[in-house]
Amino acid sequence: MRQFLEIKDRHPDAIVFFRLGDFYEMFFEDAVVAAGLLDLTLTTRDKGKVDAVPMCGVPHHAARGYVAKLTDLGHKVVICEQVEDPKLAKGLVRRDVVRIVTPGVVVDEDALDPKAGRYVAALVCGVAPAPPSPARTGRHAAPAAEPRPTPAPPRWGLAYLDVTTGEFRATELASAAAAVDELARVAPREVIVAAADLEPDGAAAPGAPIRRFAAVWGAAPVPDLDDARALLAAALAEPLADLATARPLLVRAAAAVLAYARATQPSGSLPIARLVAYEPSATMVLDEAAIANLELVATLVGGQRTCSLLEVLYETATAPGARLLRRWLLYPLTDLGAIGARADAVTDLYAAGELRRELRQQLRTTSDLERLAGKATLGVAGPRDLGRLRDTLIALPALATLAAPAPRLDGAPALNDLRTVATPALAALASRLDAALVEQPAALVKDGGFIRPGHDPEIDECRGLADGGKDAIAAIEERERARTGIASLKVRYNRVFGYYIEITKSQLARVPDDYLRKQTIAGGERYVTRELAELEAKVLAAQDTLAAREAELHRALVAEVAAAYQALLAAGAAIATLDVCVALADVAERRGWHRPTVDAGAIIDIKDGRHPVVEALVPAGTFVPNDARLDADREQVVLVTGPNMAGKSTFMRQVAHIVILAQVGSYVPAAAATIGVCDRVFTRVGATDNLARGDSTFMVEMRETAAILAHATRRSLVVLDEVGRGTSTFDGVSIAWAVVEYLHDAVGARTLFATHYHELVAMADDRPRVHNVSALVREQGGEVAFLRRIVPGAASRSYGIDVARLAGLPRSVIGRAREILGRLEGDGGALPSGRRLAARPPGQLSLLSDGPPAPRADPREAEALARLRALDLDRTTPIAALTALAELRALIS
Ligand code: ADP
């Protein structure tokens, strides 16, 4: 208990798994918490006492699952093992912490998603020099002068680390909002931050918005710049150069996360070679809203990976490839050369046809070199891991040869050359592993038998002895049967007595005198002999030596692998790159995608574009392709009108997807596309409520819109869906109008703007770069059919009532709605209530105003209509629709 309390003292915020024999036990509060979460029975050793210590335990062989569950629930687990051999220990066996498992620092492969990095991040807030900001050029007019705060706002250093692969990146961000956006891309499981940086009243006060981003927030001290510099310099292969001066917050965050991760591995080191310092503005910026709204990696509703754009692309054959693909998708490039290099590689592989399929087969057989190298460095690689690593290394040269017909995979500096990473050193490592290990090594060292016969004389000798012992035992059994005449005589083994002879009751009379009785059992007696005891000693000694020697050789092999981890990570990265390019080529061929032209121009021109996800969901061949054209100099703002369900959102999202895919270096779902490179894609789609943030729908909508207007440039792509919908018609239409004006007059960003405010279409008349397109519907015999074709020009009318009819509103309500609409459109906009449409303001807005009472004013009908209009059919479940219908009917009958 003293040992436990000492360890608990050092880790008050963690659940301590304390090894006792074959169990990990938990005590006190830990036991209470764990028993509840893991569904374990809470017991105590000192039953009946008042201050009985609560405890619970899990068998050591099943501990991994329990640990994974606790960390998934946001707990830290401290693993304490016996660090002395109980046989050799004097008195109490010493125990110590061998590993700390936290939500962000997990090394158990079974608990990890092979397709995603497992990150722990650190955030540091402070005042630091801002980088020289690229001027926001190309605006058509200066925005109305807004007072800018003079004192430098606090900046944020963000660093994140995947201890299983050594991926280690850091950046600096200009605001808490930018930090939130970057956290959304990284999706760490755990974030550490100084408590003061998160205090709601602190100067930085990011509080809640940042907090959403990880299940776990550890408040840890952050090293100062000098300590940080020293720590990183010691850990990294490459010098920091002037990073510490230019990016002090980045450096401190990197040191903080590294120190934290190190502390979790007291007995292993981390596979870290390189700190990648990056600028978010060096690649396409995708903020939280864009990632979510465009469903890049998860669906908007439910947060599932299925039905995301990533899922469409997931044709990768390896885990490192899957992880790299995710990063490529979330960080599309803006550098034309780098985009072209990737697309060239994809093109070569696309053309490679049959060979590509062969490559894919080969890739499938490779193992996760990054995580295997990581495991070796962390000291947790088993014999089977080494075997997998060996097999992959052996396959490497063949893979490189196979990839040769895709020459442009190597040419570009951004891509890794498989041939240069398959170094002689790795080949030598592979042959050493191969010489030492059997074909299929066991998973665990204690299972033994993984060293190849003939590799180590000592092991061969021990095996000979152990095996010889077995032969000798068989011989003894034979001989004793003959000597005693007891045919059922058996030589057996158990852990308590070692080897013994068992004789059944009926034969006891024949037992010779030199047998020593050891134990009486139900069916007979057990004996030992001198000869057996001697033999046993020899066999056991041989087995012990064998196990120790195998473990020793294993440790040496692991150390050798660990020493090569940088080369292994490079090889893993090269395999990942090849895999992603093969996957992109596969997707392109399978789905009929084409290579886009990405240039520095101001145009986005898409021929026969398709939505990659929706196309896969609708019956084959039924997706309707659409052209799209945006041009910062001409068709800069494209207003998309048309009824609900006509395909507006799909159209706009597919344009954004095509732009993103093009800048990833992928082919795109279109017959042809020219993409003038975008620095950022903004979206504001639908009225999703963000309850987690505690904001109203409208607040979220306006905040996202504000961010767009503040940060969009002429190089950006802006996709806005139904802005202003979350408030009253008056406010909504006014806001939508002003937003379009601002985007047109001040920002100049290429913009797709879907609206159900038909008033806006008139903007095309006096704003030169505003264009109208609409989603075509066909009316036939009073029926409305959605053609999903986007055509030039504004929608002639909104078809809201038609959609309401399709949704099943009663005929009388539909009839009445048509009547009222007719009156609104026909005679000066009179409503049944007596209110009427006002004279049109300068922008031809149709607004409601009070007027003389209309003849058949019925306030209940007006109320019914108002409610009908307010119904958001996109978000109404069938039950809610029926309920609403019943209420409407009650109101008018
Ligand atoms: P809106 O934004 O106009 O309300 P959506 O874009 O949400 O309409 O489209 C509604 C549904 O129509 C989609 O879920 C999809 O199933 C289908 N759809 C949209 N565009 C197309 C298309 N081009 N081809 C085929 N089906 C489409």
pLDDT for the residue 160: 96
Atom of ligand 1 nearest to the CA of 611: 23
> Is residue 136 scored above 70 in pLDDT?
no
Atom of ligand 1 nearest to the CA of 644: 4
Atom of ligand 1 nearest to the CA of 646: 3
- Per DSSP bridges, beta strands 120-126 and 190-193 are parallel
Atom of ligand 1 nearest to the CA of 786: 12
Compute the distance from residue 729 Cα to the ligand 1 centre, in Å: 25
Tell me which amino acid residue 334 is. T
Atom of ligand 1 nearest to the CA of 617: 16
Joined tokens for residue 737: 């109008």
Compute the distance from residue 127 Cα to the ligand 1 centre, in Å: 47
Residue found by looking up tokens 């010493």 in the block: 94
Residue with CA closest to ligand 1 atom 26: 623
Atom of ligand 1 nearest to the CA of 721: 2
Tens-place pLDDT, residues 387-407: 999 999 999 888 888 877 666
Handedness of CA 434, 440, 442, 443 (dihedral sign): positive
Compute the distance from residue 646 Cα to the ligand 1 centre, in Å: 6
Identify which of 300, 614, 657, 719 to mutate to test ligand 1's pocket (most ligand atoms within 8 A of the CB): 614
Mean of per-residue pLDDT scores for the chain? 84
Residue with CA closest to ligand 1 atom 10: 645
CA dist 120 to 216, 243, 259, 721, Å? 10, 22, 11, 35
418 vs 460, more confident: 460
pLDDT for the residue 579: 93
Q: What angle is formed at CA 498 by the lines to CA 495 and CA 501, rounded to 5 degrees?
A: 125
- Per DSSP bridges, beta strands 597-599 and 672-676 are parallel
Q: How many CB atoms lie under 10 A from the CB of residue 273?
A: 17
Atom of ligand 1 nearest to the CA of 653: 6
pLDDT for the residue 864: 81
Compute the distance from residue 298 Cα to the ligand 1 centre, in Å: 19
**Which of 300-304, 597-601, 882-886 is the most confident on average?**
597-601
Q: Identify the band that residue 798 occupies on the pLDDT scale cut at 50, 70 and 90.
A: low
Residue with CA closest to ligand 1 atom 25: 623
> Is residue 426 scored above 80 in pLDDT?
yes
> Is residue 329 scored above 80 in pLDDT?
yes
Compute the distance from residue 289 Cα to the ligand 1 centre, in Å: 21
SS (H, E, C) 245-261: HHCHHHHHHHHHHHHHH
Compute the distance from residue 601 Cα to the ligand 1 centre, in Å: 30
Least confidently predicted of 184-188, 311-315, 720-724: 720-724
Q: Identify the band that residue 693 occupies on the pLDDT scale cut at 50, 70 and 90.
A: very low
Q: Identify the band that residue 199 occupies on the pLDDT scale cut at 50, 70 and 90.
A: low
827 vs 567, more confident: 567
Residues in the ligand 1 pocket, defined by CB under 6 Å: 614, 618, 622-624, 642, 644-650, 775, 788
Atom of ligand 1 nearest to the CA of 789: 23
Q: Angle, nearest 10°, between helix axes 530-563 and 457-484?
A: 160
Compute the distance from residue 648 Cα to the ligand 1 centre, in Å: 7
Compute the residue count for the chain. Answer: 893
Residue with CA closest to ligand 1 atom 17: 647
Atom of ligand 1 nearest to the CA of 610: 23
Residue with CA closest to ligand 1 atom 18: 647
Residue with CA closest to ligand 1 atom 6: 647
> Is residue 377 scored above 70 in pLDDT?
yes
Residue with CA closest to ligand 1 atom 19: 647
168 vs 206, more confident: 168
Q: What is the mean pLDDT of residues 94-107?
A: 89
Q: What is the mean pLDDT of residues 80-87?
A: 82
841 vs 135, more confident: 135
Tell me the C-alpha distance between 557 and 548, whole Å. 14
Atom of ligand 1 nearest to the CA of 642: 3
CA dist 79 to 86, 464, 689, Å? 18, 38, 41
Compute the distance from residue 629 Cα to the ligand 1 centre, in Å: 19
Compute the distance from residue 754 Cα to the ligand 1 centre, in Å: 13
Compute the distance from residue 835 Cα to the ligand 1 centre, in Å: 35
> Is residue 434 scored above 50 in pLDDT?
yes
Compute the distance from residue 654 Cα to the ligand 1 centre, in Å: 11
Q: Identify the band that residue 642 occupies on the pLDDT scale cut at 50, 70 and 90.
A: confident
Q: Which residues contact 139 (CB under 8 A, 6 or more apart)?
A: 713, 714, 746, 747, 748
pLDDT for the residue 877: 75
In 271-364, at which residue ranges do the beta strands (DSSP E only) sit? 276-277, 285-286
Atom of ligand 1 nearest to the CA of 626: 23
Residue with CA closest to ligand 1 atom 9: 647
- Report which secondary-structure segment, H or E, holds 239: none
Least confidently predicted of 109-113, 259-263, 403-407, 420-424: 403-407
The 10 Å CB-count burial string (b at 16+, else e) for 411-420 is ebebbbbbbe
> Is residue 83 scored above 90 in pLDDT?
no
Identify which of 622, 650, 653, 791 to mutate to test ligand 1's pocket (most ligand atoms within 8 A of the CB): 650
Compute the distance from residue 776 Cα to the ligand 1 centre, in Å: 12
Atom of ligand 1 nearest to the CA of 874: 4
722 vs 706, more confident: 706
Compute the distance from residue 653 Cα to the ligand 1 centre, in Å: 11
> Is residue 730 scored above 50 in pLDDT?
yes
Atom of ligand 1 nearest to the CA of 622: 25
Compute the distance from residue 824 Cα to the ligand 1 centre, in Å: 29
Compute the distance from residue 647 Cα to the ligand 1 centre, in Å: 3
Tell me which amino acid residue 747 is. V
Nearest of 751, 755, 775, 756 to residue 624 by alpha carbon: 775
Residue with CA closest to ligand 1 atom 13: 647
pLDDT for the residue 407: 62
Compute the distance from residue 786 Cα to the ligand 1 centre, in Å: 9
> Is residue 563 scored above 50 in pLDDT?
yes
Q: How many CB atoms lie under 10 A from the CB of residue 849?
A: 10
Nearest of 572, 181, 189 to residue 396 by alpha carbon: 572
Compute the distance from residue 777 Cα to the ligand 1 centre, in Å: 12
Compute the distance from residue 617 Cα to the ligand 1 centre, in Å: 11
Identify which of 645, 723, 725, 758 to mutate to test ligand 1's pocket (most ligand atoms within 8 A of the CB): 645
Residue with CA closest to ligand 1 atom 23: 624
Compute the distance from residue 649 Cα to the ligand 1 centre, in Å: 7
> Is residue 378 scored above 60 in pLDDT?
yes
